[in-house]
């Protein structure tokens, strides 16, 4: 790794970025440098514009991926090289706002019913019952379960923020049955190695297998359970500000996406056509 990339990695770590983000940012700057076969400090605005355009038109990368490359280059030039970043000349790609896939309550039940393994079922039910990210459910510890106050402590969620998530009665019941059978010692859902938690990819495969077994054809992932949690709360009349807190969203704008995907038939709104 070049001197500049080492400095970039140090700057990211000093800023408190996660190891995964550090690797992602350094990798993107390195690929940019390799594209021109020049050290990145020798490249400027025109090369950045040309490279981002190449990523869009030739590599056919998604808007989100291109904006990730943009963020890495912006951090490198602004923070590591201490250069001005000319926003009017190098700008972000407009990202399409896609409505997330949501499962109906019956579909969620069918997925749970298709899982025979108690541990696997407990994991998926916890994701849905508390609206967790998969990275959060795998890191749950035994002492994060507060059955007295019916809540789960989520340590260092997205943005390194702690928060409390809800613990439902049904979720607590299956977790108690699971604990008696598996006797986890540290992490609630342990991995194969001692003192390790189950891998994120393993949970993703558990969901994929359950979805396929249940016959559901929607393009859903384990994260869809989190979307479904928020949507079902909204449809039940829960204040969107409470949902924001439960999900751990910093901005309410992140939560309002669920206003667009709740079932219209539950709102009791008539079309003007029906009133003619």
251 is annotated as an active-site residue: no
Tokens (6 digits) for 164: 């409390």
Select which of 74, 141, 213, 249 is catalytic. 249
158 is annotated as an active-site residue: yes
Query: CA dist 214 to 71, 109, 127, 146, Å?
Result: 40, 10, 18, 32
223 is annotated as an active-site residue: yes
Select which of 7, 158, 163, 213 is catalytic. 158
CA distance 214 to 110: 6
Select which of 30, 155, 223, 262 is catalytic. 223
Pick the closest to residue 156 from 16, 11, 8 (CA basis).
16
**Residue 165: helix, strand or coil by DSSP?**
strand
260 is annotated as an active-site residue: no
133 is annotated as an active-site residue: yes
Select which of 120, 226, 227, 232 is catalytic. 226
User: Are the C-beta atoms of residues 107 and 216 closer than 8 Å to each other?
Assistant: yes
Exposure on the CB side of residue 181, measured as CA atoms within 13 A: 12
Select which of 25, 120, 121, 133 is catalytic. 133
Concatenated DSSP letters for 85-153? --TTTS-PPPPP-PPPP---HHHHHHHHHT---HHHHHHHHHHHHHT--HHHHTT-BGGGEETTTTEEE
User: Are the C-beta atoms of residues 241 and 254 closer than 8 Å to each other?
Assistant: no
226 is annotated as an active-site residue: yes
Burial class (CB in 10 A: 0-12, 13-18, 19+), 108: buried
Exposure on the CB side of residue 36, measured as CA atoms within 13 A: 19
Q: Which residues are catalytic?
A: 133, 158, 223, 226, 249, 258
């Amino acid at each position: 790794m070049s001197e500049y990339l080492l400095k970039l990695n140090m700057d990211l770590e000093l800023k408190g970025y996660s190891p995964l983000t550090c690797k992602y940012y350094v990798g993107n700057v390195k690929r940019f440098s390799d594209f021109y076969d020049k050290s990145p400090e020798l490249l400027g605005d025109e090369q950045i514009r040309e490279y981002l355009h190449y990523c869009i038109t030739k590599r056919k990368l998604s808007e989100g991926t291109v904006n990730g490359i943009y963020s890495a280059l912006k951090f490198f030039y602004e923070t590591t090289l201490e250069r001005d970043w000319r926003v009017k000349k190098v700008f972000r790609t407009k990202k399409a706002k896609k409505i997330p896939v949501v499962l109906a309550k019956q579909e969620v039940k069918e997925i749970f019913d298709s899982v025979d393994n108690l541990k696997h079922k407990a994991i998926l039910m916890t994701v849905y019952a508390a609206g967790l990210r998969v990275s959060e459910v795998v890191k749950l510890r035994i002492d994060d379960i507060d059955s007295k106050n019916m809540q789960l402590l989520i340590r260092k969620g997205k943005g390194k923020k702690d928060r409390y998530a809800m613990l439902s009665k049904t979720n607590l019941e299956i977790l108690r049955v699971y604990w008696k059978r598996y006797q986890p010692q540290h992490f609630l859902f342990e991995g194969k190695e001692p003192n390790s938690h189950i891998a994120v990819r393993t949970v993703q495969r558990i969901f994929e297998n359950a979805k396929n077994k249940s016959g559901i054809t929607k393009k859903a992932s384990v994260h869809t359970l989190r979307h479904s949690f928020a949507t079902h709360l909204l449809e039940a009349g829960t204040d969107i500000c409470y949902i924001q807190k439960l999900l751990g969203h910093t901005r309410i704008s992140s939560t309002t996406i669920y206003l667009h995907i709740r079932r219209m038939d539950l709102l009791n709104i008539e079309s003007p056509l029906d009133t003619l």
